[in-house]
Structure 1
Amino acid sequence: MMSEGIEGTGSVSERVEEIGTMSIVSKMDANDSLPTNSSEAWDGVTADGVDTAMRYFSVVIYVVTFVLGMLGNGLVIWATVFQLKWTVNTVWFLGLALADFTYLLLLPFSAAYLALDYHWPFGTALCKIIIGLEVLTMFASVLTLTAISLDRCVSVVTPVWSQNHRRPRLAILVSLALWGMSALLSVPTFLYRDTYTYDGETTTCYTNFATMAEEKALETATEEDYDAALEEYESIKTTRFQTLAIFRFLLGFLLPFLLIGASYATISLQLWCKHMAPSGKPFKVIAAIILAFLLCWAPFHIFMFLEVRHPPNLPYSLALKVGIPLSSSLVAVNSCLNPILYICMGQDFRDKIKRSLRKILEQALLEDSTVAHDTSRARTKSVSLGNEGSTLV
């Protein structure tokens, strides 16, 4: 929180604009930038109208996503835990559903924040906890998708080893490790998240990259040293913001995407060399989930870097005013897409309405089965599908 000494030496509106600039590095971060005074860059009425329209648009998307996602992911959790055969695939899909379900539980706070015109009435503790958990589930979802791709690649490259060693228990241990890693990666959010009240009534939940000691040093700086101290203070915050944004981009998008792409390229090459085609239902589900991940997350990171490069003391352009909330809405939508993909790709659509949801999910999530192309017992073991430990495509 800014002290009175700082407010007395700098414009409150500039501080608020700065808060908005620092707030785009998590699922909710992209929605918590404060509306800036854009009349200097383009018509103020248009700016206010666009900002209001995008806020309400995001609220509608969040509400629809919450309803559909809670039902869909809740169904997947119920089915994988109580109804379906416990396999490596069901462990992975359960991990994805838990990450999305947790994020969706927190989504009403984001919707309320927007509906209240960027006012956070829930306190500093919840500001840290809710945004931290959203970042944690973001990493958990991304890392689980990466693990799924690597798992299927290993199944193709070393099928005999996979047949003998891949078991649900190992997948559970890996999933727990991924959630632990996600918790570590979200520590900066729990550390730097803060609230700030301006105009005596509006409180924002933002990422405060300055420590209390640094704020105190700026507050107590003499009049002669204040300009230099302020420059150093802003430089520290900007550097931390850029570092965290790059860190999130590399570990939350680029590296997972490269690993996923390399895994499926290897799978395609191996199957092509063996004159086989990747034809299982689970393969199609995974490919669709990866594509949805790319389409939903790429715009968010693009606009994140556009905002990083945006001068902090200038109002947002129309492209950023529209693009940031729109890309954030796509991220939210991604959380309700996976269970829809499970159902829509499980079998022919006309048959779906005649079958139970349990059967649909079972066909979508359980392991593949195919026929080996060699009569040799060893050869059959290395290429056959359908056993509990196999997800070969």
Structure 2
Amino acid sequence: MGMDCFHSNTSAAPNQTFAPGKLSSLSIFTISLHGIVSTIGIIENLIILVVVGFRVKRSIISIWILNLAMSDMLATSSLPVFTAYFARGNTWTLGSTFCRIHSAVFFLNMFVSGFLLAAISLDRCLVVVQPVWAQNYRSIQLVWKICCLIWAFAVICCIPFYMFRDAIPLPSGKILCYYRYSLYLPSEPYDLEALCRQRKEGLAFMKLFFAFLIPLAVIILSYIFVNLSLARRGCRRPFRFVRLVIAVVVTFIICWAPYHIFIIIEVMASSGSPAQKFATKSLPISATIGFLNSVLNPVLYVFSCPDLCRKIRHSLGEVMESVLAEDLAELARRRSTARSTISNYELPKKVKYSIPNEKADDLDENDSLTNSAEITSVVKDEK
């Protein structure tokens, strides 16, 4: 395993290593992709948090969306740090504790997103398959309790990934934010090489089952039962519903399947084999694609709700109109102040010979203020 059993291969989510020296084209592409994903994700989820958190009446679907946006916001807000880590030549300078925290954030989003998407799908299934039970027991308080349990269980799942991460200095001068499986060794006799491999495989399959396969199975089975229940009642499935189901399943698979596939290949392949080398090179991109799920979730679950879309557009429109009105008023004030200053400066020079020009300047100033006031008035009227 090498170097005190630390994970020298790149199964560590977004903070992987590249070849030392000049950044390769793959490195530049990864850095750019991280920057784009983080920027879009932060803006998108921040808008949803503000609108759903402060301008939408509390409902069951709004609680699901709010928790999903919180998880996605947490993940995308951590991406700029990883982007800077790449740009600095993959050298970690923020210490061991911060290395563990940032790595845990990635895995926390992975688990919370999977659990929440499964819970949302199961909730929709119960509403259709068991409408009487849903009417009697499905409540806002129950959904909040389920969300709290999801976050608590996700935090518990992240503990091993937090424990076995460390900032590892290399002889070349680099500091890597990697797994170190030789931490927390047992007191009884053990084989260090075998122990490290067991821990490595255990964490990889834990992620695969709890964060991907089980949530995916719940999502698919829930929508299968919904479809069968509607068909048994002779109800026609709305096209929007069918499109949403397909989009949810396909997006979840596309975003997370490559990461988990490459993790398993990297763990199970023999050291130095072509398969392991290929998986090692592919993991940085696949981890970034996993973050795309945090950008696409709002599109699938928020913008598929017409009422919520209208609230978001209305809120953003109010903000933009308010900002525009304030900017125009400030511009009018500055232009008025500037013209008054110029007029006062030129008045002593022109008072004896240029009385008509002075009146013209005053007329221009009044026209400017009138035009600015009219623009501001139009903006306010449109509100």
TM-score class, shorter-chain normalisation, is: 0.7 to 0.9
Contact 1:19 1:34 in 2 (8 A): no
Choose the corresponding residue for 2:96, options 99, 124, 127.
124
Greater Cα shift, 145-154 or 127-136: 127-136
The alpha-carbon deviation at position 255 of structure 1 amounts to: 0.9
Specify the code of the residue in structure 2 equivalent to 1:182: A
Between the aligned partners of 1:276 and 1:360, the Cα distance in structure 2 is 36
Q: Does 1:106 align with 2:78?
A: yes
- How far residue 33 of structure 1 moved from its aligned partner, in angstroms, is 3.7
Tell me which residue corresponds to 2:160: 188
| CA contact 1:139–1:252 (8 Å) conserved in 2 | yes
Distance across 2 between alignment mates of 1:260 and 1:147: 8
Which of 2, 13, 17 is equivalent to 1:34?
17
Instruction: Kindly state the Cα deviation for residue 325 of structure 1 after the two structures are TM-superposed.
Output: 2.1
Q: Give the 3-state SS of the residue equivalent to 2:91 in structure 1.
A: coil
Tell me if the contact between 2:13 and 2:103 (Cα under 8 Å) persists in the aligned partners.
no
Measure how far apart 1:202 and its partner are: 0.8
How far off is 1:150 after superposition? Answer: 0.8
Give the superposition deviation at 1:134.
2.1
Task: Assess, with a 3 A threshold, how the Cα gap between structure 1 residues 286 and 20 changes in structure 2: closer, same or farther.
Answer: farther
Q: Deviations over 1:53-101 (max 9, x none)?
A: 2221111111111111111111111121112221111111111110000
Aligned pair 1:15/2:6, yes or no? no
**Could you tell me how far apart the structure 1 residues matched to 2:231 and 2:134 are?**
20
Deviations 1:323-371 (A, max 9, x none): 2222112112111112233565456xxxx8xx6634699xxxxxxxxxx
Which of residues 124, 129, 141 in structure 1 aligns to 2:113? 141
Matched, 1:151 2:113: no
- Distance change >3 Å, CA 18–CA 127, structure 1 → 2: closer
Give the structure, 1 or 2, with the largest relative contact order (CA under 8 Å, sep 6 or more): 1
The CA distance in 2 between the partners of 1:217 and 1:162, in whole Å, is 52
Q: Is the 8 A contact 1:346 1:360 kept in 2?
A: no
- CA contact 1:63–1:111 (8 Å) conserved in 2: yes
Matched, 1:246 2:205: yes
Q: Which runs of 5+ in 1 are unaligned?
A: 1-9, 38-47, 219-228, 362-393
**Counterpart pick for 1:209 among 174, 178, 181:** 181
Task: Compute the TM-score of the two structures, normalised by the length of structure 1.
Answer: 0.72
Larger Rg: 2
The one of 179, 198, 208 aligned to 2:170: 198
Task: Name the amino acid aligned to 1:340.
Answer: V
Alignment of 1:298-313 (within 5 A): 298-313=257-272
The alignment partner of 1:31 has SS state of coil
**Number of residue pairs aligned between Structure 1 and Structure 2:** 315
Residue 357 of structure 1 is matched in structure 2 by: 312
Pair 302,316 (structure 1): closer, same or farther in 2 beyond 3 Å: closer
Q: Work out which of the residue numbers 142, 147, 170 in structure 2 matches 1:170.
A: 142
Specify the SS of the correspondent of 2:24.
helix
Deviations 1:12-42 (A, max 9, x none): xx53996332x41xxxx233343469xxxxx
Q: Which is worse superposed, 326-335 or 236-245? A: 326-335
**Match of 2:8, SS?**
helix
Partner SS, residue 117 of structure 1: coil
| 271-280 vs 158-167, greater mean Cα deviation | 271-280
1:276 aligned residue (235, 240, 246): 235
Check the 8 A contact 2:104/2:158 in 1, yes or no: yes
Q: Which of the numbers 62, 85, 100 marks the counterpart of 1:90?
A: 62
Aligned residue identity for 1:150? L
| Counterpart in the other structure of 1:324 | 283
Amino acid at match of 2:266: E
Q: Does 1:67 align with 2:73?
A: no
Query: Normalized against structure 2, the TM-score is what?
Result: 0.74
CA-CA distance at 1:251 after TM superposition: 0.6
- CA-CA distance at 1:316 after TM superposition: 6.9
Q: Which residue of 2 aligns with 1:263?
A: 222
Unmatched tracts of structure 2, length 5 or more: 317-383
* Higher fraction of helix: 2
Q: Distance in 1 between matches of 2:202 and 2:277?
A: 26
Superposition RMSD in Å? 3.1
Structure 2 CA distance, aligned partners of 1:58 and 1:324?
11
SS of the aligned residue for 1:19 comes to coil
Amino acid at match of 1:82: F
Contact 1:20 1:33 in 2 (8 A): no
Q: Does structure 2 retain, via aligned residues, the 8 Å contact 1:145–1:290? A: no
